Chain A
Amino acid sequence: MIRAARYFARAKFSIDWPIQFLVGVTGVLLTFFEGSLALWSLFYGATPLLSLVFLYWMMVQCENFVPVFPVFVIGLISDILFSEILGGRATAYVLAFYYVGFRRSKILQGDFMQTWLDFALVVTGVMLFQLLIFSLLNFAIPALTPILFQIGSTLILFPMGYLLLFSLASLVEKVRMLS
């Protein structure tokens, strides 16, 4: 029993961190891409949360590769990039991380519609949290249309992101099997 535990602990420690680092870098690059999407007049003032789509998929499918710290850093970088309340989105992402961790087994058991619905809850939660903090700190309510647009566009793009990430994951798996 003791031996098995030791082997398990060592194997787990030695394999995860490079991938965790890669996940963080990919998330940061996606955040930059989000920022560049704002140059299109279609997404002016309300770009879809692509980094959240990526993080959600990773948190559900590859829990071990997504520790909380990169999630916090990705949120913080989007706060700086979009000049929003410092730490607002970072906190929302961290809270989303704990929520998904709590719901993970149920999400994995359900079908795609259930996953989508759960993601809708996460996106709405992230935006509502930011809205609440913004309103409390500024004593003002911003225009709600861009917020709804941001939630809507993220939800519309979710299936595409989900499919893309699944395809990439299966490709990586095939390459690994071949090598």
Chain B
Amino acid sequence: MARTSDKSRARRRRIANFLLIVTSFSLMFLGKADIAALRNAHMGASDFMAPLVDLVSAPVRGVDTMVTGIRTVASLRAENVRLQGENDLLKRWRRRAEILESENRQLRSVTGAVTPERRIPLTARAVTAPGGSFAHTLLIAVGYESDIRAGNPVVTADGLVGLVVEVGKSYARVLMISDINARIPVILASSSWPGLTIGQNGVFIELAFLPEEAKPQIGELVLTSGHGGVLPAGLPVGSVNLVRDNYVRIQPAVDLRSLSYVSVLTGGLDGIDTRDLSLGDYFTPLPIDDDSRLLEGLNAVGERQ
């Protein structure tokens, strides 16, 4: 009697184990198939877990703040001297920026470039940071209650962090520019050559699909191009860090390892008005050898005399 019971229990356990393995493998393929119901369940689970993670991470944040405080006190005098120097430098830069801003305004009126629709920045706290080697995403403490939508760009004062990919009630998941699945259309700031950044799940990003004629320089700024209309043009993505044969590496403008607060640019998802924009007009670099004077004969308001 007991033997029969043991046997049937063992058989049931074997069947349960087999079903669990089948479920595990099925989940992987269903997850990859990107089924809406599964995606919603995934975001629902994240929404549920985020406050718990936030609670558990409180001591970690506390220790981090304490360590930062000790470091700051230790280097207060040196920091003060450095800040004074930086302040002087910033004053000079501010003056220069004012001049450049005025010049930029004039140039915009000359070229007739379309300014992207205004977006409303919304500050959000980063609840988690990328913890695994296979995905670079972070959870932020704003959701559809705050009018966040998938596709909204996420930035800091330094530049682009990523874009919102999943939105829950009070939390949203951000795909960072360093994720292997992140593809950001960009241009090289000084030469205007278009390209595409590809994350590598590491600290750096690859700049790919550059035209053969493009010669990126070390330190050259890389900005979002605005192609596709999801991201506004002109957000700093990073700067060229390494050029080797056909491989171009970018150092992100934002220090992605220490994100506490980010800004989500809400609105403007209907995209930039593309009716008057075409690739040929705005994203082909000016011919370097051509010495024709494009601005010759133009006055300050852009009218040809």
Contacts and interface: CB of A to CB of B under 8 A. Distances in A.
Given A38-B131, A87-B31, 13 more contacts: A32-B53, A35-B128, A36-B53, A36-B61, A45-B178, A80-B45, A83-B135, A86-B38, A87-B30, A130-B133, A133-B28, A140-B180, A143-B201
A87 B57 contact: no
Nearest to A46: B133
Top-6 shortest CB links A-B = A87-B27, A36-B57, A86-B31, A38-B131, A143-B202, A82-B132
A165 interface: no
A86 B30 CA distance: 8
Interface in A36-78: 36-41, 43-47, 68-69, 72, 76-78
Contacts of A87: 23-28, 30-31
Contacts of B38: 86
B49 A88 contact: no
Contact of B129 (A9, A38, A77, A142): A38
A14 interface: no
A127 B133 CA distance: 9
The B contact surface, by secondary structure, is: helix
B201 to A, nearest CB: 4
Contacts of B23: 72, 87
Nearest to A145: B202
A150 B5 CA distance: 44
B20 A68 contact: yes
Among B16, B49, B133, chain A packs the most CB atoms within 10 A around the CB of B133
Interface in B39-89: 42, 45-46, 49, 52-53, 56-57, 60-61, 64
A148 B133 CA distance: 9
A141 B259 CA distance: 26
Contacts of B53: 32, 35-36, 81
Q: How large is the interface on A (under 10, 10 to 19, 20 to 34, 35 or more residues)?
A: 35 or more
A144 to B, nearest CB: 9
Contacts of B24: 72, 87, 90-91, 94
A175 interface: no
B141 to A, nearest CB: 14
B132 A45 contact: yes
Given A32-B53, A81-B49, A87-B31, A143 B128 contact: no
B235 to A, nearest CB: 22
B161 to A, nearest CB: 13
A101 B60 CA distance: 34
A77 B202 contact: no
Nearest to B175: A83
Contacts of B256: 44
Most buried by B among A5, A39, A76: A39
A85 B49 contact: no
Contact of A68 (B17, B32, B128): B17
Nearest to A94: B24
Interface of B: 1-2, 5-6, 16-17, 20-21, 23-28, 30-32, 38, 42, 45-46, 49, 52-53, 56-57, 60-61, 64, 128-137, 173, 178, 180-181, 200-202, 256-258
A79 to B, nearest CB: 8
Contacts of B258: 41
Given A39-B64, A133-B28, A143-B202, A88 B134 contact: yes
A9 B257 CA distance: 53
Contacts of A91: 21, 24-25, 27-28
Contacts of B30: 86-87
Nearest to A47: B131
Nearest to B46: A80
Interface string A141-164: 011011101100000000000000
A37 B128 contact: no
A86 B28 contact: yes
A150 B32 contact: no
A174 interface: no
A24 to B, nearest CB: 14
Contacts of B25: 87, 91
Contacts of A6: 2
